[in-house]
Amino acid sequence: MISDRVRQMAPSQTLELNSKIAQLRKEGKSIIALNSGEPDFNTPQPIIEAAYQAMLEGKTKYTQTPGIPELREAIARKLSDENKIDYSIDEILVSTGAKYALTNTFLVLCNPGDEVIIPTPCWVSYVEMVKLAGALPVLVPVCEDNHLDLKAIDKAISSKTKVILINSPNNPTGAVYSQDSLMAVAELAVRHELYIVTDEVYEKLIYGTTPHVSMASFSPGIKERTVTINAFSKAYAMTGWRLGYAAGPKQVIKGISAIQGHTTSNATSFAQWAAIAALESCGAYVEEMRQAFEKRRDYLYGRVSSLPGIRCPYPDGAFYLFPDVSELFGRRRGDRVIHDAPALADYLLDEAGVALVPGNAFEAPQAIRFTYSNSMEKLNEAMDRIERAVGKLF
Ligand code: PMP
Ligand code: GLU
């Protein structure tokens, strides 16, 4: 009945848990959700006001498929000023979240059987997006310090490789890759005539000293083979608005636009108008949220790394901690055995009422993911509960 394509697709583990949490809360259980990575702040007011104004002005109709020119021009200015990449507006397309821009990028770049190199741990949806395009995800683990293993990437390149996918700052590790390592990946792409897809949705959420650099800004010959993906979701607390964009070679953007024209037509009209206000007048809001995330990172890192049996790398960006919990595997509480990360996540949900995502979702079965996009009070309460629950395993 159901197509093979969908039968082989695993549902998104970062989102799926939300229905279970809703059910548990309906049953009266107190659940702290540290599963889904989205800012807990509301969207900054100027953005909301711009959307309302746009609706009042009747900007409630279909737009051009790749997005309103005014927003694409604002994105082009942003990419030029902040990311040092010069794009014309026909090299930019606005889409329903970064998710849809990414999915369509793989559909445009890949023929069935092509290979896409994905450094792991990686965000949950990449593998399914690549498979949906009929391509093959080739997973290449990062080094112990969560940075790119350039030799392993080089070794993974075959005659079928079409794309190298890079995500920095990284979900789930929080690693921010150095300019040198990104340049080395770019050189590989040029040498082997590959595309780079660079997912930069967490670019504004950096706490360490390694700055964000956009791969398409490297010269020469990189921009022509790079698709830059970004979104309003994380930086501007606009996850529900579903607004992202792709910037890349004209032919690729035209291809994405063709798919979009047949499948969603365009991103929501008034959300697009509001996004101009985000880019042009909300820098201070973004910085305020970044500072709050940094405080939470420091707090949660301190608490998580002092848990027994847990080794936690220090993240420099995004809003996740991704500790190795494999020392807890095999421990038990009564009849319950913590075989693996999913069993640990289930145990912490039942025993502590805290929802986390097992590392299996990110191709890293030894780990579990915490998001610190939640209030200090909630993080404190969640860690008190987790401490008690983990303590019972010893
Ligand atoms: N890329 C990464 C690395 C993400 O974590 C997410 C999660 N939202 C996305 C892309 C998708 O972003 P959007 O919500 O804009 O579709
Ligand atoms: N990207 C966020 C996460 O990893 C939100 C959920 C999703 O889109 O996967 O939790």
Sign of CA dihedral 127, 180, 108, 114: negative
> Which of 109, 214, 112, 233 is closest to 167 using CA atoms?
214
Using CB atoms within 10 Å of the CB of residue 34, give its burial: 0 to 12 exposed, 13 to 18 middle, 19+ buried: buried
Q: What is the DSSP letter of 35?
A: S
Question: 295 CA to middle of ligand 1, Å?
Answer: 22
Section 168-177 average pLDDT: 98
CA angle 95/153/188 to nearest 5° reads: 75
In the chain, what are the domains? 4-42+284-391 (3.90.1150.10), 45-282 (3.40.640.10)
Q: Could you give the percent of the chain with pLDDT greater than 70? A: 100
Question: 36 CA to middle of ligand 2, Å?
Answer: 5
Question: Considering every ligand atom, which ligand is closest to the CA of 124?
Answer: 2
Section 238-251 average pLDDT: 98
Section 227-243 average pLDDT: 98
Question: 14 CA to middle of ligand 2, Å?
Answer: 5
Q: What is the pLDDT of residue 220?
A: 80
Instruction: Give the Cα separation of 152 and 121 in Å (integer).
Output: 14
Residue with tokens 């007011």: 45
Section 342-366 average pLDDT: 98
pLDDT band at residue 219 using 50, 70 and 90 as cut-offs = confident
Residue 176 pLDDT greater than 90, yes or no = yes
Q: Could you give the percent of the chain with pLDDT greater than 90? A: 97
pLDDT band at residue 299 using 50, 70 and 90 as cut-offs = very high
Section 152-158 average pLDDT: 98
Question: Considering every ligand atom, which ligand is closest to the CA of 357?
Answer: 2
* Model pLDDT for residues 35-87, shown as the tens digit of each residue: 999 999 999 999 999 999 999 999 999 999 999 999 999 999 999 999 999 99
Section 328-346 average pLDDT: 96
* Cβ 12 under 6 angstroms from ligand 2: yes
Section 147-153 average pLDDT: 98
- Report if pTM > 0.95: yes
